[in-house]
Amino acid sequence: MASKAALFALLALWGIGGPAALPMAYAQDETVEERADHSPAKRSFTNRVWVMEESGDLPGVIRIFLSDGTLVQDSCWETHRLSPWTSTSETSLSWTEDGAEIKAEILSVSATQLRLQLDLNGTLEEQSYRAAEVPFVCPDMPR
């Protein structure tokens, strides 16, 4: 069932099925600190296509946190990846990549923006994402 949801999300990203292909729940603009209820499920970052901002020469990095616990990761130059993800506290989550646990703190989330701070083996990296615009097509990448 998780693979069907992931495929559905990717098809929606690629523009197959029109704009109504992926339901979108809009959150109000807010930071984690401004909320009394910090529950990740209630902050509406799940079931949305997030495109990384400032990804340099490698465009199209996306993350989709499905509510069933599947993380879909893709980019314009790599094969997509499906990983399990889970909430580890009210403002943090984790997933597994290549056998390594990736921990992330949710810094802020809104209808159009998601900011995460990843702990990559003791090195902190902040990543900013924007809600994907549909339709989107990856640019031709040099081979």
pTM: 0.68
> What average pLDDT does the segment 130-137 reach?
91
Local structure of 59: helix, strand or coil: coil
Any bridge partners for residue 84, and if so which? 70
Largest Cα–Cα separation, the chain: 49
- State the pLDDT confidence band at 21, using cuts at 50, 70 and 90: very low
Domains and CATH numbers, the chain: 2-131 (2.40.128)
Measured in whole angstroms, how far is the alpha carbon of residue 13 from the centre of its chain? 12
CA 66 – CA 62 distance, rounded (Å): 13
- State the pLDDT confidence band at 36, using cuts at 50, 70 and 90: very low
pLDDT value of residue 60: 81
Name the more confident of 3 and 59: 59
CB atoms within 10 A of CB 30: 13
pLDDT value of residue 139: 79
